[in-house]
Chain A
């Protein structure tokens, strides 16, 4: 794992990195707006429109229609035949929101392995933002249905303390702790159905574990494991796992 682009959490952080709001003296707040729906119209037409329809007249086609998408459980639209993988993802708790859609559209198979949607993914974070702002217009309005999905990405719903990111982990301690990881994750960096974890830049690893720790990234086992780890332990694991390189 080399580039940041491979790690969805990190990419997401980059995509929404402007979330922090600036406060000006005249009391006006400039903040992240979550994309321009007009620009998103074009992205939709080019990237999605062949298979997906959206709007008052939209029906299921090659892909499911996208009305009421936000807040919907994955694979749950009646009358559409989803892949088994998509149905299972929904049953396991995947709900379409800005964050999950952003990850999915960036790299569909990294989020729902085995999805039938044959789409390579959209790497441009800005285009995804515009696309999602466009699609959000076709789901319930929170003014009228207060429980409707948010209309603005929450941004990284977790924060990694600067001190933890800077922490120098002890690789020897990490090696000892990693024995627990390799019960499930492959030691040689191959994808055995469970994401490989070796050779990551330490910072990426720390962020990923914090994402689980705070429940921002969903996985029952990883959330539990991450919560059991203290900062020093996470830093140690990050330091050790970074020293391992995938075998070719």
Chain B
């Protein structure tokens, strides 16, 4: 790989100007290691590699060879997308941008030596490390459930085989059977996600099993786009969906995976499918790296640097950054700001004021979509919401259909932006 004149000069200037960039002093290219190949990790890897034009050596560590996006996995449950259409590989990132793709688990981080150890035993040195591991589940958050029960009661909150399993269970429900969802407490990945899922399950059941019922057990008194979802459920799936909030025991739920029972405040409900979405926390690698404070990893808003180690950045769901919801869109947005901060630190490239945005589309039915979005800016304390919008209840069908189609366009664009 060649270093062009601009970057060579940039690097030379940076050596003079930027303290603490030792890799530049020698001949070796600065190294960035990214852990996690989702919307945060894939995007930051691609932008650092693309915009540094080979002046930074980028390695992306991701265990799976095929990445299934969580976003749009609900549309697969609804029968509106096939699974293959939400699966992506890392071929372009390697071929077009020269990123080293390593399919392995990161199991250790040595912050003093600045190295990452992989399950295979390999050791990767870094100048900057980016952690974008998504979420893990909090043990014991739903009594009676742990990951060993995920085949009986799938979470399907990391897309792929779990999503496929949940879809198969929905399709195999007896006529007039019950689909139960145990919804998660705040904060969690994709605030409208569980409720879009309910919409899509209802959409599927309406066609193949119209007398089936859906019960949602929710510890939260209120959720994102609540009025829009409730209106949509009334319009499309009247009488099918029952939402049980904390006033009716939605916060006192225990599950019995072997018996397929959900016990709500002492009362036993027999169910046919049970989608348990447990409480969430940052990915385990954040604890291993020692950059967690409680369940999340606090970051400097303008650069996504860990508050505990300036050579480590944390992106997406795992980051405690402030007001941005944990979503693929947010992670992608943060990744671009982070990539700029990394190039600035390692090459002396210009950094512009950071800007963040998020939009969450949700499908209520085929050709009925709603959205919520906002822009954010970095203050010293947090990424703060500045302004936003949300779809209105009672919108005409053509507006909703346009929103639905817009989401499909967004899917194509963001996956291009992630995977090249």
Interface residues of chain A, those whose CB is within 8 Å of chain B, are: 21, 23, 25, 27-34, 140-152, 154, 157
B156 at the interface (CB under 8 A from A): no
Q: Are A144's CB and B187's CB within 8 A?
A: yes
**B224 touching A152 by the CB < 8 A rule?**
no
Residues in A neighbouring B379, C-beta threshold 8 A: 29, 31-34, 152
Contact yes or no, B377 A142, CB < 8 A: no
Q: Does B167 contact A (CB under 8 A)?
A: no
B24 within 8 A of A: no
Given A33, A145, A149, which contacts B191 in the complex, CB threshold below 8 Å? A145
Contact residues of B between 350 and 372, Cβ < 8 Å to A = 351-354, 358, 360, 372
A145 touches B387 (CB 8 A): no
Chain B positions within 8 Å of A30 at CB level = 380
With CB as the reference atom, state the residue of chain A lying closest to B192.
A146
CA distance A218 to B341 in the complex (A): 39
Q: How many residues of B contact A (CB 8 A)?
A: 43
Assuming the A-B contacts A143-B326, A146-B374, are A151 and B384 also in contact, with contact meaning beta carbons closer than 8 angstroms in the complex? yes
> Using Cβ atoms and an 8 Å threshold, which residues of chain B touch A28?
300, 302-303, 380
Contact across chains for A147 and B388 when beta carbons are under 8 A apart? yes
A residues near B243, Cβ cutoff 8 Å: none
Quick one: closest B residue to A28, CB to CB?
A: B302
Q: Which 10 A-B pairs have the closest CB atoms?
A: A152-B384, A144-B186, A147-B390, A142-B323, A142-B385, A29-B302, A27-B351, A150-B385, A146-B325, A147-B372
Given A144-B187, A146-B372, A152-B386: A29 and B225 within 8 A (CB)?
no
Is B323 within 8 A of A151, CB to CB? Answer: yes
Assess the A140–B222 pair: CB atoms within 8 A.
yes
Q: Find out whether the CB atom of A33 lies under 8 angstroms from the CB atom of B187.
A: no
Distance of A145 Cα from B187 Cα, bound (Å)? 10
- CB proximity to A under 8 Å, residues B333-361: 340-341, 344-345, 351-354, 358, 360
Interface class of chain A by DSSP = loop
CB distance from B234 to the nearest CB of A (A): 19
* Docked-complex contact A31 and B380, CB < 8 angstroms: yes
Chain B residues within 8 Å of A147, by CB: 224-225, 372, 374, 388, 390
Q: Given A34-B379, A143-B187, A29–B354 Cβ distance below 8 Å?
A: yes
Measured in the bound complex, the distance between the Cα atoms of B150 and A243 in whole Å is 77
Q: Are B323 and A141 in contact (CB under 8 A)?
A: yes
| B280 CB, min distance to chain A CBs, angstroms | 12
Across the interface, name the chain A residue whose C-beta is closest to B324. Answer: A143
List 7 contacting pairs A-B, 8 Å CB cutoff, sorted by A: A27-B344, A29-B377, A34-B384, A141-B187, A144-B224, A146-B191, A150-B388
Assuming the contacts A29-B353, A30-B380, A31-B380, asked whether A145 and B222 have C-beta atoms less than 8 A apart, the reply is yes
Asked if residues B351 and A152 are in contact (CB atoms below 8 Å), the reply is: no
- For the complex, what is the distance from the CA of A147 to the CA of B358, rounded to whole Å? 11
Let me know if B322 is at the binding interface, CB within 8 A.
yes
Residues of B within 8 A of A148 (CB): 385
Nearest CB of B to A22, in Å: 9
A218 to chain B, nearest CB (A): 15
- The answer to whether B380 and A33 have CB atoms under 8 Å apart is yes
Contact check, A150 vs B386: say whether CB atoms are below 8 A apart.
Answer: yes
Would you call B360 and A146 a contact (CB within 8 A)?
Answer: yes
Contact A154 B303 (CB under 8 A): no
Beta-carbon nearest neighbor of A145 in chain B: B224
Which of A27, A149, A151 is the one whose CB lies under 8 Å from B302? Answer: A27
- Residues of chain A within 8 A (CB-CB) of B300 are 28
CB distance from B381 to the nearest CB of A (A): 6
B388 contacts A143, CB within 8 Å? no
Contact in complex: A143, B322 (CB < 8 Å): yes
At the interface, yes or no: B408 with Cβ under 8 Å from chain A?
no
Which residues of A have CB within 8 Å of B182?
none
Taking the nearest CB of chain A, how far is it from the CB of B18, in angstroms?
Answer: 9
Does any Cβ of A come within 8 Å of B142's Cβ? no
- Give per-residue flags for B374-400: 1 if the beta carbon is below 8 A from chain A beta carbons, else 0: 100111111011111010000000000
Given contacts A150-B386, A154-B387, contact A33 B381 (CB under 8 A): yes
Most buried by B among A23, A30, A144, A149: A144
